């Protein structure tokens, strides 16, 4: 199943945040507003809701991308 444009954009921002890449302020602000990201110091981190959304979108896209500390019990 292919992701929609909105889902693809959201997944891209979530993954970029995970890997400490630069993210557009406008895109990040949208995900902060929706509760997927949290602003910390000079960057962003995924919230638990953001982590769940990342896992959901990765599953839909047929990907398996995890933080080193993520356990299988979260899936």
Report the CATH number that the domain containing residue 57 is assigned in CATH.
1.10.10
35 located within any domain: yes
Q: Is residue 56 included in any domain, yes or no?
A: yes
Per-residue pLDDT tens digits for 15-62? 999 999 998 999 999 999 999 999 998 899 999 999 999 999 999 999
Query: What's the number of domains the chain is made of?
Result: 1
Residue at 41 is within a domain: yes
How far apart (Å, rounded) are the C-alpha atoms in residues 54 and 67?
11
Would you state the structure tokens that stand for residue 53, as one six-digit string? 């959304």
Residue 41 domain boundaries:
5-64
Q: Does 22 fall in a domain?
A: yes
Answer whether residue 67 shows pLDDT above 90.
no
Does position 73 have pLDDT exceeding 80, yes or no? no
Work out the number of other CB atoms within 10 angstroms of the CB of residue 45.
14
């Amino acid at each position: 199943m292919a992701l929609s444009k909105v889902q693809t954009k959201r997944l891209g921002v979530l993954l970029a945040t995970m890997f400490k890449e630069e993210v557009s302020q406008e895109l990040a602000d949208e995900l902060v507003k929706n509760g997927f990201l949290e602003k910390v110091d000079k960057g962003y981190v995924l919230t638990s809701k953001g982590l769940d959304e990342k896992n959901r979108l990765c599953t839909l896209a047929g990907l398996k991308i995890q933080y080193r500390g993520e356990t299988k019990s979260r899936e």
